Amino acid sequence: MRTGMASHGHARSDLRHLHLHRVAIAKLRKHPELRGACLVLLDDWLGQREHAASVPWLRQWREMLASWTTDELATVILDPEGGQTLRQCSPLAPVLTPQERWAALEEIERHSVSEP
């Protein structure tokens, strides 16, 4: 029974991450200059030993943010399964304000509560 509960919690977490990334990508479309703050964060992470295991994905993020269009980025990051690992080490936190993040989380909570 614990396994089912754990996987349910994990699925819920994945759903929240996916929604937050949808909101962040939408904002990046309107404000591409926000990529700069994400690249600064990535460079900081790439210089830290505790992120060594994530370096391949962080480098992929760096390439995507530095040279891909927002549509190309969205295709990979918003893929429900294929983008999961990248979403778990996402540098998009600087894109959303705390208020935007909370609003997005409340939106996904309302949506998941209203589902049967």
State residue 13's pLDDT score: 81
Residues in contact with 41: Cβ distance below 8 Å, sequence separation at least 6, in sequence order: 91, 93, 94
Residues 102, 108 contacting (CB under 8 angstroms):
no
* 69: phi then psi, degrees, rounded to nearest 5: -75, 165
- Residue of 44, 13, 31, 10 whose CA lies nearest to 100: 31
Residue matched to tokens 């819920």: 12
Residue 79: which domain range? Answer: 2-114
Give pLDDT tens digits along the chain (116 positions): 333 334 455 677 888 899 999 999 999 999 999 999 999 999 999 999 999 999 999 999 999 999 999 999 999 999 988 899 999 999 999 999 999 999 999 998 887 655 54
* Count of domains forming the chain: 1
Whether the model clears a pTM of 0.85, i.e. scores above it, the answer is no
pLDDT of res. 7: 43
